[in-house]
Structure formats: structure tokens, C-alpha cells
Amino acid sequence: MSVVALVPAAGRGERLGYGMPKALVPVDGVPLLTRAVQGLFASGQVQHVVIAAPPSDVDQVHTATASLAPAGGAVHVLSGGAQRSDSVRLALEHALRVIPDTSIVLVHDAARAFTPPEVIAGVVAAVRDGHDAVIPVLPVADTIKQVNEVGVVVSTPDRAGLRVVQTPQGFRAETLRAAYSAAVAATDDAGLVEQNGGEVHTVPGHAHAMKITTPFDLAVAEALFCGGQE
């Protein structure tokens, strides 16, 4: 039974200001997407990675990732959709059609390129242990305020029960297929499962799984992971 990772990477990443898809922005000369795929395979749990790439950059993405798969594995590259959810749906449909023994599906953001392999392995292990949906999380360090439409604070949630969500998010293949088949909406894939009546389990995340979205994030990643300090 195969573990398949879906990587929605069709976003343009304007906030990084590189004039190229965010997934192809380099960190110390290596694209974020390449680093993310390397981490997935380094976990020792993933056999296939399905990348939803910008339609204009499918060949470039294939060139950057095709050689990363271990023996018996493969990288699949296809054109992504207009929205992240469209890309995940297309990648999931491809996986279930082309890799018929798919049993566990991960959805991973290329922008979390430095997610430690042990976090990925932990998510897969929790799904194998019987959980339908699993997400890596971190405690919330900051005080959180809920505000209304004019910016006035209306409540202060207890942060003890709050978590920051990372990726990869892991699912039984049938659980994610059912969530995407339902007419629901959410801000992440686990949210789709929640909206569809499913239970989502959590495992510890890691600070290195930071999401690289802005030039500041990119500078932090360069300093932490490419300067001999990791």
C-alpha cells in the first residue's frame, strides 16, 4: 500500500517578489519545491509525490524534481488549478487513478520546505495507527484577540486550547476523497474533513516547518538552514 504526498505548487507567490512561482524560488540555490520533495522522500515513508504545478512551468518543475524519487518511487507533475483546493483535487484524482494502491495521502505545502522528515514520519505513523486525519501542530505563543469588522476586540480566546497548524496533513485516502466530494468549504484540508463530520488528530509539529511566504521568511530560512547553524 502506497503513501502518496500531494504538493499543490501552482501559486505565483507575489509576496516573495521573485517574479516566478513561489515553489521555484531558491533558498541557497535550491528551489523550495525541491527541498520539500527531498524532505518527503527522506522520511522513508513516501513512495510517490504528485505535484500540481503552474501550467506554464510543468516542464521546469519536472526537471527540478524528477530525479529525487528513490528506487521504486516516482514524482508525478501535472498542471494545477486556479486555487489551492483545485490543485489538491486534481492531484488527488491523479493519485487515485494512477496509483491504485494509494492508502495514505499527505498534503504538503512546498513553502514548508524545511519540515523535518521525522514530522512527516510521525503524521504517517498516526494515520497508520487508525486515525482518519492527522495534522502537525505547535502551541500558540502569542496572545490572540478576536476583533469585529471595525477592529474592536470582542474576545480573547484562551490560547491553551489553540494550536498553529503545519503540513503535511495526513489522511486515509478514502477520507480525503470523501471530503473533496462533499459540498463543503474550509481553509485547509483538515478543515474539509471536519466540515464533513470527520475527526482530526494532532501530532507535534516543529519550528523548522515554518511557512516561507515573505522576503523576511526567506531571509530567516537562509540564515537558519543554509548558514551552518542547523
Q: Which pLDDT tens digits describe the chain residue by residue (230 residues)?
A: 899 999 999 987 666 767 788 889 999 899 999 999 999 999 999 999 999 999 999 999 999 898 999 988 999 999 999 999 999 999 999 999 999 999 999 999 999 999 999 999 999 999 999 999 999 999 999 999 999 999 999 999 999 999 999 999 999 999 999 999 997 888 899 999 999 999 999 999 999 999 998 899 999 999 988 764 44
Task: Give pTM, 2 decimals.
Answer: 0.94
> Cβ(166)–Cβ(138) under 8 Å?
yes
Burial of 52 (0-12, 13-18, 19+ CB in 10 A): buried
